[in-house]
Structure 1
Amino acid sequence: MSHPSSATSPKKRKRDGPTHESLSFELDSSCSKETTGPLLVSFPALQAPEDTPFRCYGRKKMKKDNQKDKDDDGGKYERPLVVGEAPAVEFVSNEEESRRAADSGCSYLLAVHDPRTSKIKVLPFHQTPYILTRTVKALKSIPPADAPSALDYRDARNALGETFGTKKAKAAIRAQERNRVDVNAMKGVIGHVVEGIDEKAEGLLTKEEAKDLVDSTRLVPPFSATATEPEDIYALNDIIPESEMKALNITPLEHNLTTRVMPWKYSKWITAHLKRLDQNEDNSKARKRKLKMLLYVSIMILFRRVMKDRSGLDKDTIYEKMNSVPSTVVDGLLSRFTETTRGSSVHIFTSTMATKLMSYLLALCLRVDDFVSNPRILADDFSLATTNIQNAYRSLGCKLKTLSERELANRGYSDTLADTKFAVLVAPVQFPKAKTGRKKGQA
């Protein structure tokens, strides 16, 4: 008995012609890098008629140094020019677009299948695709129109806005037109405008003159902008006039180096300097000058305390409150740091004068501190915030910075002041630039 499947299984039909188990690949040796070979072209956004004839035109040989367009193997020939012509359209390869396609990094291989031999012949393709552009023959005789100018573009845009825009857009267009300057109308008067500008500009200050004017209005002692040493920036005679310096009596202070014999007895800064002088037995002229400077700092602090009442004080009241100070010194302070109205004997300590007094006082403190001062100690003496004293030092041209351990040791300061920012006067003096920017939140 036969198997059922064998009785019903159909017989396979034999194919005509030769049979092949698999495809085989073969490299066409007729195409090499020395030959042009097949070319691959692309028609973006259009399709050329199938019967369009194409030709490839070679170009002249170029020198290697001046060559701009090279094929992939670095040859010395420029890429051929591909041209096709149909009855209504011409096609020409676009070098710029073709170069962009070459830079995209894609490479291509062309293969031809032979069904008789079941072989796929691979043609080496050494060049990137050619991007073709078209030209309509009927439009070649029409000259190209000029590109619209910015004025034409704006007029066309405004016309569309007037026709289809919202009320807000139309109002913006009309406002823009009102602010628009008619250049043609200005041509006749431009000469007069320029002459008027030149005439008015004659009275303007130069950059150097403007700087000198700003420096002259600074509420600081007279200074030297060309000084190369800190001690030459603010002269001592400009802070303490010679007549007032001679009027200072330091004899009680030489016998008792404490603040108890000074006009103002509560300054920590003066106390620290007197202790240093007490340890130094030197009776030189420099020591006496430093004592006079410390005495004058005490007088300026007292004067600031006395003149706190901004409503003003008469001279007799000021003399009474500063009875331990020579009258020559009091008169000098009143003339430099107070204001009086016509026909009145009342001396007013305005905010401008208070700033000026503070600048003179701190400039004198810098000289005593060898031009490196600690703003925190002086802030305690003046009952002010440290930032206010720091800003006052900046207005004198000081830089705020910390000192190294060596600098602290050389000046006799403790290591606990390593994080303290000292006011250091540096030559040549540089004042902070005035801020001209608009504050946040202001319109």
Structure 2
Amino acid sequence: MMYGAKTDRDKDNKWRSLKEQRNDPSAYEDIDLGISETNVNANDRQEPVLVRNIPPYDPTADTSENAYLLDEIIPKSMREHLLEIVRHFESGEISSKGYGSFVSKRVHKLKELQGEDKKRFAWILSYIQHLLSLLARNGSMSNRKWKGRNENQISHGPATPQAVYRRLLFMFTEPGSSVMPTEKKELLTNYILVLTLFADDFRSNPSDICEDLKMTRQNLKPYYDQLGCKSVTEGAFKSTFMTLPAPLKFPKEVTRKRRRQ
């Protein structure tokens, strides 16, 4: 009996000791959990992934024409809906349709172009206008007003085709609503600026698009910088143009090194 009682007491003491160790964090200090110094250093060396808030681009392109991907900016499926501007121009209706300053001052070039070049220029001008219209709608109307009305019929330039409008809402507004967060508004502005460069053969005077965007050149400078643009002035008291050198060179991002825990 004495032997059995002693054995039971020893077992109780052993289990009590194990239980106390499980509840004591210091008991795990010397256990290797698989986080080695080598792994920590390797993680510290990993470069942060930088996602630029700009249209699709090719960092290896060696010409301005190929630096930004026009086929992705204006998908081929959208282009058949972007030719009405040609009819507006040829019928003399441009001035009555509410086109912005940038488009109105360049639409005359359609008369000088033929075939695919004419269509391409029409796509670019039309898409610029529809992007500007979306930006104007978002800036001038409250969310409550948007919900109860047909947004596409609000007068901000020529009517945007439904297929184009749905794509723009998908790209630049919050899902299920017409809210345009700041990040999306900046992206939309960058799309507009890239297309103005295409329209002006990558030598663009920003005065007209400043008027349409209701922004000063100084306000637009950070956007142009993000896109890899450079300003060129021909001389004192002369106009400044925005160009797009290739390959693209973006401003360096200031990042903080992650602190080791």
Q: TM-score, normalised by structure 2?
A: 0.74
Deviation of residue 237 (structure 1)?
Answer: 1.6
Question: Is the CA contact 2:205–2:242 (under 8 Å) kept in the aligned structure 1?
Answer: yes
Pair 435,203 (structure 1): closer, same or farther in 2 beyond 3 Å: closer
Pair 347,273 (structure 1): closer, same or farther in 2 beyond 3 Å: same
Higher relative contact order (CA 8 A, sep 6+): 2
Q: How does 1:75-114 map to 2 (within 5 A)?
A: none
- Structure 1, unaligned runs of 5 or more: 1-191, 405-416, 438-443
Mapped to 2, the partners of 1:424 and 1:257 lie a distance apart of 32
2:119 corresponds, among 285, 288, 305, to 288
Quote the residue 1:334 is aligned against: 169
Q: Which runs of 4+ in 1 moved over 6 A?
A: none
Mapped to 1, the partners of 2:81 and 2:117 lie a distance apart of 17
Deviation of residue 197 (structure 1)?
Answer: 3.2
The question of 1:429 aligning with 2:260 is answered: no
1:237 corresponds, among 49, 57, 71, to 71
Pair 432,258 (structure 1): closer, same or farther in 2 beyond 3 Å: farther
Question: Is the CA contact 1:398–1:423 (under 8 Å) kept in the aligned structure 2?
Answer: yes
The question of 1:381 aligning with 2:215 is answered: no
Larger Rg: 1
Deviation of residue 361 (structure 1)?
Answer: 0.8
Q: How does 1:247-266 map to 2 (within 5 A)?
A: 247-250=81-84, 251-256=86-91, 259-260=94-95, 262=97, 264-265=98-99
Mapped to 2, the partners of 1:271 and 1:257 lie a distance apart of 12
Root-mean-square deviation (CA, aligned residues, Å) is 2.7
Letter in 1 for 2:127: Y
Question: Is the CA contact 1:375–1:390 (under 8 Å) kept in the aligned structure 2?
Answer: no
Mapped to 2, the partners of 1:218 and 1:257 lie a distance apart of 41
Letter in 1 for 2:122: L
Greater share of strand: 1
Deviation of residue 310 (structure 1)?
Answer: 7.6
Pair 204,242 (structure 1): closer, same or farther in 2 beyond 3 Å: farther
Deviation of residue 275 (structure 1)?
Answer: 3.1
CA displacement, residues 188-230 of structure 1 (integer Å, 9 cap, x when unaligned)? xxxx9xx8432223334544xx3xx21xx21101111100001
Deviation of residue 435 (structure 1)?
Answer: 4.3
Mapped to 2, the partners of 1:205 and 1:336 lie a distance apart of 34
Greater share of helix: 2
Deviation of residue 299 (structure 1)?
Answer: 1.2
Mapped to 1, the partners of 2:183 and 2:255 lie a distance apart of 21
CA displacement, residues 21-77 of structure 1 (integer Å, 9 cap, x when unaligned)? xxxxxxxxxxxxxxxxxxxxxxxxxxxxxxxxxxxxxxxxxxxxxxxxxxxxxxxxx
Pair 261,329 (structure 1): closer, same or farther in 2 beyond 3 Å: farther
Quote the residue 1:117 is aligned against: none
**Identity rate, percent:** 24
* Range 382-391 or range 297-306, more displaced: 382-391
Mapped to 1, the partners of 2:213 and 2:121 lie a distance apart of 21
Deviation of residue 369 (structure 1)?
Answer: 0.7
